[in-house]
């Protein structure tokens, strides 16, 4: 009997229960299989066209992210570099979003590449989310330094991530981590959360 390869398994499927055990100090939930498209474009007119096509303007400022709901549902655009963006959408939106981006980019030079399998996504929240991240991240995540919409590429416990601030005041963050590092990051989060779980028990 051959294995059913049509069933997808997320990088953190085996960690669901262990991540759930981190509550209430930290809520960590994987959001697997999101559409992720890396866009390279330097022409501001083409960038604006792509934003119009998605119904979400591309970030105008470095280290920020934008989000909105357009013809493809919820879409987020993360600034990764001077001419590099990451477009994130729901899992079943890859083909139409990719087609729309390619059409809007033409005839300017650039690229739209499907990188959906490269990373998984972990949503963090809870009273000690910021404290836990501070153990392994050099970025100042205080609301005064990292307001809502902040988006940076950084290291969390030596794992490269894209970190987005969703709600600075309550402490809600999203981490996009390479699939091969996902279990390492989950194990580190579990270890870093021990003292805060004990304090709340």
Q: Convert the pLDDT of each residue in 123-174 to its tens digit.
A: 999 999 999 999 999 999 999 999 999 999 999 999 999 999 999 999 999 9
Q: How many residues does the chain have?
A: 201
| CA separation for the pair 10, 97 (Å, rounded) | 22
CB atoms within 10 A of CB 65: 26
| CA separation for the pair 118, 177 (Å, rounded) | 8
Helix (H, G, I), strand (E, B) or coil at 11: coil
Nearest-10 Cα torsion for 126, 129, 131, 133: 170
- At which residue do the structure tokens 């953190």 appear? 12
Q: Quick one: tokens of 97?
A: 């979003």
Q: Is 82 exposed, middle or buried (0-12, 13-18, 19+ CB in 10 A)?
A: exposed
Q: Are 116 and 33 in contact (CB under 8 A)?
A: yes
| CA separation for the pair 82, 60 (Å, rounded) | 10
Q: Quick one: tokens of 66?
A: 């934008």
pLDDT tens, per residue, the chain with 201 residues: 454 446 789 999 999 999 999 999 999 999 999 999 999 999 999 999 999 999 999 999 999 999 999 999 999 999 999 999 999 999 999 999 999 999 999 999 999 999 999 999 999 999 999 999 999 999 999 999 999 999 999 999 999 999 999 999 999 999 999 999 999 999 999 999 999 988 776
């Amino acid at each position: 009997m051959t294995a059913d390869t049509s069933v997808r398994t997320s990088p953190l499927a085996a960690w669901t229960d262990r991540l759930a055990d981190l509550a209430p100090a930290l809520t960590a939930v994987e959001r697997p299989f999101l559409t992720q498209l890396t866009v390279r474009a330097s022409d501001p007119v083409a960038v604006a066209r792509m934003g119009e096509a998605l119904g979400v303007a591309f970030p105008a400022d470095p280290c920020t992210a934008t989000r909105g709901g357009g013809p493809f549902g919820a879409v987020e655009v993360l600034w990764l570099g001077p001419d590099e963006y990451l477009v994130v959408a729901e899992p079943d939106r890859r083909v139409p979003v990719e087609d729309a981006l390619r059409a809007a980019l033409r005839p300017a030079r650039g690229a739209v590449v499907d990188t959906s399998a490269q990373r998984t996504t972990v949503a963090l929240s809870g009273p000690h989310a910021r404290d836990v991240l501070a153990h392994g991240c050099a970025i100042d995540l205080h609301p005064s330094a990292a307001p809502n919409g902040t988006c940076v590429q950084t290291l969390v416990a030596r794992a490269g991530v894209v970190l987005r601030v969703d709600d600075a005041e309550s402490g809600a963050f999203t981490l996009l981590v390479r699939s091969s590092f996902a279990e390492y990051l989950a194990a580190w989060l579990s270890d870093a959360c021990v003292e805060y779980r004990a304090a709340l028990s």
